[in-house]
Amino acid sequence: MKRIGILTSGGDCSGLNAAIRAVVFSAIERGWEVYGIHNATNGLILRPLAYHKMSLSEFEFPFATLGGTMLGTTNQGNPNVFPTSDGKTEKLTDEEIVERFKEGVEELGLEALVVIGGDGSMNIVSRYCQAAGVAMVGIPKTIDNDAPGTDLAIGFATARSVVADALDKLNTTGGSHHRVMVVEVMGRGAGHLALESAIAGFADVALIPEIPYTYEGVLNKLKQMNAKGCTHSLVVIAEGIKSPEGKNSFSVNGRTFGGISEYFVDRLSKDGFNVRGNVLGHIQRSGTPVAVDRILASSFGVHAVELLAQNKTNRVVAHQNGKITDISLEEALKIGNSPVDPNGEMVHVARNLGIYVGE
Ligand code: F6P
């Protein structure tokens, strides 16, 4: 290897810059060149190409300690629609995209691409890479923590701390006003973030997409707490759960997910509770990465470069049972995403703490 590209794709999260740093540092240490591709694959597909040659000095101050991604990203709903320089959009066919991507890779002379992304991005970018004949290594990131084959994805630990911190704050105001604080947490179709944050933030209810619940179950829990003299409570709701009637598509400000907490605020108010709702939103994707994410991102970046140095390509790095390892891209794509195991440890802990997590 002499020259590699690196890009971030999909929703941002904390720890991406630390991962970019790790790849750049360990690649340059080997005498390689690293090209940072801007705005996910757009940097190779749109014209002019958008990239820059990366250097150690870029990290002097202060990117690696910040959330977001210094390379930019996209998580466009339609992967065939692209922005144009005059502020409009253009639609490219799959063939056109791959052709442009291939030309971009060739123009920069890239021998491999390090792709930092979630399961959706890994799927799309791997198709481009395969069609363009360029090798790739994936690094999983997502606050949803549902990336395949890894116990941890970059961004999850920081998001979990952000939510736990928010729960601590909502606990004091909820306690002062004797209120039920309903808190809606991101995660798409996965409940890892809601469940683990609920445990960390000492919540009373945690509803997640993987476990069916009843409204009566929530109500009973809150009534039991009142009967025991507790006058306030924290109800954590994953954005991806269905309403008890089975409605699963809530949309706020054009987002596919988001809005289910309103249902509970409304219904619990009608049942006589003093309730306030909070949708934490994109604040969960930001903030200085916690040490766990910095170490994970650094380890993933180093491992990705080691794989390339050994000519092991089309692999995705992973964290399994406390160790950094890798799985094949094919396997990762086959697994898709990994939801909360309803019989797993976190659900067991939550139940034994008396948290209502469904039936
Ligand atoms: O997948 C990460 C995530 O933050 C989800 O938890 C959330 O539903 C979604 O992205 C939000 O996407 P957007 O930034 O497009 O609103």
Looking at the structure, do residues 75 and 136 belong to the same domain, yes or no?
A: yes
Residues 212 and 238 in one domain: yes
* Rounded CA separation 148/136 (Å): 17
Residue 66 domain-assigned? yes
Residues 147 and 295 in one domain: yes
Find out whether the beta carbon of 143 lies less than 6 Å from any atom of ligand 1: yes
Query: In the beta sheet, which residues pair with residue 235?
Result: 182, 205
Same domain, 151 and 164: no
List Cβ neighbours of 37 (8 Å cut-off, separation of 6 or more): 5, 6, 7, 43, 44, 50, 51, 71, 113
How do strand 112-117 and strand 3-8 relate by DSSP bridges? parallel
**Confidence (pLDDT) at 353:** 98
Same domain, 175 and 259: yes
Among 75, 252, 283, which is best to mutate for testing ligand 1, by the most ligand atoms less than 8 A from CB?
75
Ligand 1, residue 75: give the atom nearest the CA: 15
Question: Does 331 reside within a domain?
Answer: no
Residues whose CB is less than 8 angstroms from the CB of residue 347 and which lie 6 or more positions away in sequence, other chains included: 195, 211, 340, 341, 357
Cβ of 144 below 6 Å from ligand 1: yes
| Ligand 1 atom closest to 239 (CA) | 8
Q: Give yes or no: 204 in active site.
A: no
**What separation in Å is there between the alpha carbon of 208 and the centre of ligand 1?**
16
Identify the domain containing residue 214 by its residue range: 158-285+343-352
Same domain, 270 and 293: no
Q: What angle do CA 235, 168, 67 make, to 5 degrees?
A: 105
266 and 144, same structural domain?
no
From the list 261, 118, 127, 102, the residue with the least C-alpha distance to 184 is: 261
Q: Is 142 in the pocket of ligand 1 (CB under 6 A)?
A: yes
Q: What is the pLDDT of residue 44?
A: 97
Distance from residue 238's CA to the centre of ligand 1 (Å) = 12
CATH number at residue 144: 3.40.50.450
Q: Which residues is 135 bridged to in the sheet?
A: 112
**Pair 128, 175 in one domain:** no
pLDDT tens digit string along 303-335?
Answer: 999 999 999 999 999 999 999 999 999 999 999
* Set 12, 119, 144, 326: catalytic member: 144
Please check whether residues 28 and 53 belong to one and the same domain. Answer: yes
359 within a domain of the structure (yes/no): no
**CATH number of the domain that residue 269 is part of:** 3.40.50.460
| DSSP 8-state symbol, 154 | B
- Nearest residue CA, atom 10 of ligand 1? 11
Q: How far apart are CA 318 and CA 306, in angstroms?
A: 13
* 329 assigned to some structural domain: no
Ligand 1 mutation pick, 193, 196, 255, 260, max ligand atoms within 8 A of CB = 255
For the CA of 188, the closest atom of ligand 1 is 8
Question: Distance between CA 74 and CA 86 in Å, rounded?
Answer: 18
Cβ of 186 closer than 6 Å to ligand 1, yes or no, is: yes
Whether residue 9 sits in one domain with residue 144 = yes
Q: Is the CB of 188 under 6 A from ligand 1?
A: yes
In the chain, which stretches have pLDDT less than 70?
A: 1, 249-256
Beta carbons of 325 and 317 less than 8 angstroms apart: yes
User: How many domains, the chain?
Assistant: 2
192 neighbors 209 (Cβ within 8 angstroms): no
What pairing do the DSSP bridges indicate for beta strands 205-207 and 275-279? unpaired
> Which pLDDT value is given to residue 247?
79
CA dihedral 306, 311, 314, 317 (to 10 degrees): -10
Pairing assessment for the beta strands 51-53 and 180-185 based on DSSP bridges = unpaired
Ligand 1 atom with least separation from CA of 257: 8
Together in a domain, 83 and 167? no
Greatest alpha-carbon pair distance for the chain in Å reads: 70
Q: Which residues contact 97 (CB under 8 A, 6 or more apart)?
A: 45, 79, 80, 128
E strands, the chain, where?
3-8, 33-37, 51-53, 81-83, 89-91, 112-117, 135-140, 180-185, 205-207, 233-238, 275-279, 315-320, 323-328
CA 258–ligand 1 middle distance (angstroms)? 10
**Nearest alpha-carbon partner for 13 in 62, 66, 59:** 66
Are 167 and 259 contained in the same domain? yes
Residue 250 Cα, ligand 1 centroid: separation in angstroms?
14
Does residue 126 sit within a domain? Answer: yes
Nearest CA to 219 out of 208, 209, 233 is that of 233
15 within a domain of the structure (yes/no): yes
